[in-house]
Structure 1
């Protein structure tokens, strides 16, 4: 009974986390959707602004080498997808290494006795690299605070195992680069059967994914203006959270709607399971 109650409490806590995320995205949605494209900010220190314009990169952000001990391999089209991206200066680079693990489940519902399989992707490493970036808008050109931008990484700039795609303030869409990297622990990747012996497995794959804001890209940034040594800087303020996205306002609004729907769905599912647990329909003892 105690274990069941504790399990239900954990479900409620996780559901509240998703609801908190929902509120964050709803707040951003209201702010972005209310932007008047014809309005011109006064561009004064302390002002909360939403700027749309072009990214201007004076110093590129580094793109990490995902390979380490692993060897990058070409995708099916014969390229790894990085050649064109390397031609432009990147102001912001969000990256992660995802590993797919094949897990075996119990007997299938058909009663055939076969064990079902499912794939689970998890982020093993991730990061957010920031260079010197300015936003050139109709209202003026402002620098983007690199330290505040790094803090958009979930858990802060030093939390290297987080996933930048989970950030509530960073919206870069689907990865621009998605390339496979071979892991030396993988043996016989094309074998028709899975072999799992200790660390050796044919059921695991790794992918290196990157989204970038390059010089000349269309960007949207929301935050508070402050006066720096070289002029105005857009940063995190006491009354304005820093939000950075690529694309148009319409693109960002669509992404925010998707995040709101996803988080609400997760929260409702978890609350339903929690209610079933407290009602005695789910027993984890």
Structure 2
């Protein structure tokens, strides 16, 4: 593996890695990785298409779900070229300009915001059902979406400029298949205290605040549910939150330990599983997906029949 020194080059070139110790089987590992990317992209595109074309899904819950699918799709598309380049062609070098973009950070913070918005949707639906339509209007949903996107972009925007002012020296090898701010700044031959403080501020003000507010929302939801006299109604109310709880766990659990292997889980697992979870647990989406597969099955048999003729 190449080692780069800041004295040899004017613009630093970083080295990304796949899975250490398994370089000899990267070509084989690329097969399940490609399949996971394919499932993630097709699944989230299907969710977006169904929500756009099916008028019965034009409700606040599904608008937030489309935002979640959009962020998952962005995560998959933004990381796909780099990851597959490493595993298929063993091309590990990446320029600082490409590395400092941090699309993954931006989209991850956006997904965190969307999960918080969906928790708010669950809270209003269960705790304030009579005011649901008046609270979550189309205007409010658009403002929440724009605020979530604006917060993510605004917090990530300074990072490339903060990193470009540093000199880099020694081994410029990163421990993931994509660039992370906390790893890149540690390779700088300079005082990184400002970057460390700002990075901590960004994490606390996004993932930290969002996760606490989600927990608080579910505490209020649980209090309301437990006050319902009928056991069947309690289970019905909780069932509306199962998909969202699954999405929250899929997003936050891998983030706790961002090791190399967990990094791949964090990068691929939520975009792959979120469409599956919501397709299984949401009747309207499940019915449309089943109908689409049935139509596809009929067309396939028709094509085979015409081919035999």
Question: If the length of structure 1 is used for normalisation, what is the TM-score?
Answer: 0.27
Q: Which has the higher helix share?
A: 2
Q: Which has the higher strand share?
A: 1
